[in-house]
A = this chain, B = another copy of it.
Amino acid sequence: MRADDWVRARSAGVNPTQLAILRLLDGRGPGWTVKELSLQLGVSQPTVTDSILALERKALIEKQADPADGRAVRIVIISAGRAVVRAGEETAGAVDRAASALDDDDQEQLLVQLVSVIRQLQEQGAIPIQRMCVSCRYFRPYAHADAAQPHHCNFVDAAFGQQDLRIDCRDHETADPSVRAATWGAFQKDHHPPGE
């Protein structure tokens, strides 16, 4: 797993932590603060400062003064950094290739079960990252009658199916805890109807 991270990242000239930061930065215009990144990644604030310095040396990101807070710094990705993220994505990881060897039903089951396990980890507080549909304020499970595409994403305003559930969506915005609980309930109930 770690080895896979390295293969993906190495091919783009950065290491896994740096690639993770770039992926977070990508797709959020206003940028992130150091604090936000450290919370999202689950590492200490000085560690993020270290990696930010490394990325700055490689000219993949920029630091901008926060107009609203003189202490804060807004980290934004620049075009070279975006290119690295694209390159990293094209080098589809070995895990992806391995998973695609499963048949479609198994892939869908695996995805749903992983979502379940990851959600549990998040609710336990064991991992900080929240980028899955089931914790997103745009997610509406089973909003449609169509069995092939029962879910709805209010961000792109489109229906989608179980097999397209996201684990790491760049447009994710965390919903309030009570909303999350309700969303999860609806997702679970209709996915595991009583009597199945």
Say how many copies of this protein the assembly contains.
2
- Are A127 and B4 in contact (CB-based, < 8 A)? yes
Cβ of A120 within 8 Å of any chain B Cβ, yes or no, is yes
Q: Which residues of A1-38 have CB atoms within 8 Å of chain B's CB atoms?
A: 1-4, 7
Q: Is the interface of A mostly helix, strand, loop or mixed?
A: helix
Question: What residues of chain B lie closer than 8 Å to A3, measured between beta carbons?
Answer: 42, 126-127
Size band of the A side of the interface? Answer: 20 to 34
Cβ of A116 within 8 Å of any chain B Cβ, yes or no, is yes
- The smallest beta-carbon distance between A8 and chain B, in angstroms, is 11
Q: Which residues of A114-151 have CB atoms within 8 Å of chain B's CB atoms?
A: 114, 116-118, 120-121, 124, 126-127
Q: How far is the CA of A127 from the CA of B4 in the complex (A)?
A: 8
Give 30 A-B contacts (CB < 8 Å), ordered by A residue.
A1-B1, A1-B127, A3-B126, A3-B127, A4-B121, A4-B126, A7-B126, A94-B121, A94-B124, A94-B126, A94-B127, A95-B121, A97-B120, A97-B124, A98-B117, A98-B118, A98-B120, A98-B121, A101-B117, A101-B120, A102-B116, A102-B117, A103-B192, A106-B113, A106-B116, A109-B113, A110-B113, A110-B114, A110-B117, A113-B113
